[in-house]
Copies of this chain bind each other. A is one copy, B any other.
Amino acid sequence: MSKEIGITVKKNEDFSEWYTQVVIKAHLTDYAPVKGLIVLRPYGYSIWEFLKSSIDQKLKKTGHENGFLPVLIPESLLSKETTHFAGFTPEVFWVTHSGDTEIGDRLALRPTSETLAYSMYSKWIKSWRDLPLKINFWNSALRAEIKSTKPFLRTSEFLWQEGHTVHATQEEAEEEVMTILDIYRKTVEEELAIPVIIGKKSEKEKFVGAVYTTTMESIMPDGKALQMGTSHFLGQNFSIPFDVKFLDKQNVETFAWQTSWGVSWRLIGALIMVHGDDKGLVLPPRVAPIQAVIVPIYSSQSDKEAVLKKANEIKEILTKRDFRIHVDLRDEFTPGYKFNDWEMKGVPLRIEIGPKDLTKNKMVLVRRDTLKKSDLSFDSAEDGIIKILNEIQEDLFEKARKLLSERVKNITELSQFKKEIENGMCLNSPWCGDQKCEEIVKEETGADIRVIPFDAERSNMSCVVCGKPSKTNAMFARGY
């Protein structure tokens, strides 16, 4: 493979350039004509489809339904919840004209749909019979990015889902917040093989308009934390201004309790960063568009026929079991070129079949994650390949779990805290609960409180910043 086609930098030498090369050269995405916007090529979109389908199934099983909201929100509506509006307004795209006609109440492109959804919900909900209302929307959000953009991680339009639910009681709404966070965690850990830390955001970092925000975070190889998904308890903060109320069983009019939550294609960004290596992408089998690629090796026409016959047999067997197998039939490329090509694209397993293999009744398997070779007899193809794909999925998660735990340090002392933040660590440190201390950390180190884990140490220690008695431990890190 020529230098131009392959990845030309090492992951641990220039992480940012490595990332950019991988997303472009593996044909996941490309830059759109407008700065800050990307397109998804089929290979990248296919990963999103697997992720989407996994989440969608879980949402439907837990009683959620999908709906559609238009992308245009009138300014007068968006500004109804003032804190919320203030949080989004610097990055809103504004539509001012349709054709040659100026629009009176200018229209925002949805930065998020709380305001629009709840203005509808207030019309639809009349009594306790209409609750709970649990609707999810698969769409895109638009937020003009002023900072430098990066495919999947920071773009001015991104694919996501946003869920918006309404409940008769606070208790039920808070339960919903946790149900969703658990769906997110399971999906990310089981499908993407990325371990996460779950907990609450601090007051400073919560969603604008929420009572509190729960989050799942992971640490990327460069030491920066990535917010992987959030689930918000909105209380009655929106139901009051948007008039989302219902007649309860005693016929008393009551404001409803609400939640909202979302994950985006940012998860694909995490996938690339966590598992990729110097050769390119490494995809966990469960979200890989191609789970195993068969590269046939031959020089004569008779060899070709025999090898392809066997390759198609193997493909057939596994396709019947719903695995996604591709036979690389391209005559214009050498096997070596194909090996590099599929390695860059992160296909979890390569299967080589040549004339010598045929005589020995076996094929050669090469794992993308370890690059280890092994032989597998044709007779054990079905079980053998499925077993190795499962192993790859598990091993990727184990490896990522180990890396994550190495990245987290328990620190109680400020000077060490500053040093370890510089080292790209995520710090589990006691915190007094005062926003002042968060601000000092941000100013002096660039780190935020990423998450207050649900299982955080609550015992009384000294705040790592001010030394006063701590309320809880919190996870500090620089973030994306």
Contacts and interface: CB of A to CB of B under 8 A. Distances in A.
Contacts of A144: 98-99, 101
Contacts of A38: 70
A46 B68 contact: no
Interface string A36-59: 011111100110110000000000
Interface string A119-148: 110011000010000010000101010100
A92 interface: yes
Contact of A99 (B73, B89, B97, B98): B89
A74 interface: yes
A102 to B, nearest CB: 10
A68 B45 contact: yes
Nearest to A145: B98
Contacts of A77: 33
Nearest to A333: B129
Of the four ranges (under 10, 10 to 19, 20 to 34, 35 or more), the interface on chain A belongs to 35 or more
A67 B45 contact: yes
Contacts of A92: 98-99
Contacts of A140: 70-71
Interface string A98-117: 11110000010100000010
A91 interface: yes
Contact of A120 (B30, B99, B157): B30
Given A90-B99, A93-B95, A97-B96, A32 B65 contact: no
A72 interface: yes
B123 A70 contact: no
Contacts of A74: 33-34
Given A94-B95, A96-B97, A69 B34 contact: no
A159 interface: yes
Contacts of A119: 33
Q: Which 6 A-B pairs have the closest CB atoms?
A: A42-B65, A98-B144, A40-B68, A37-B70, A94-B97, A90-B99
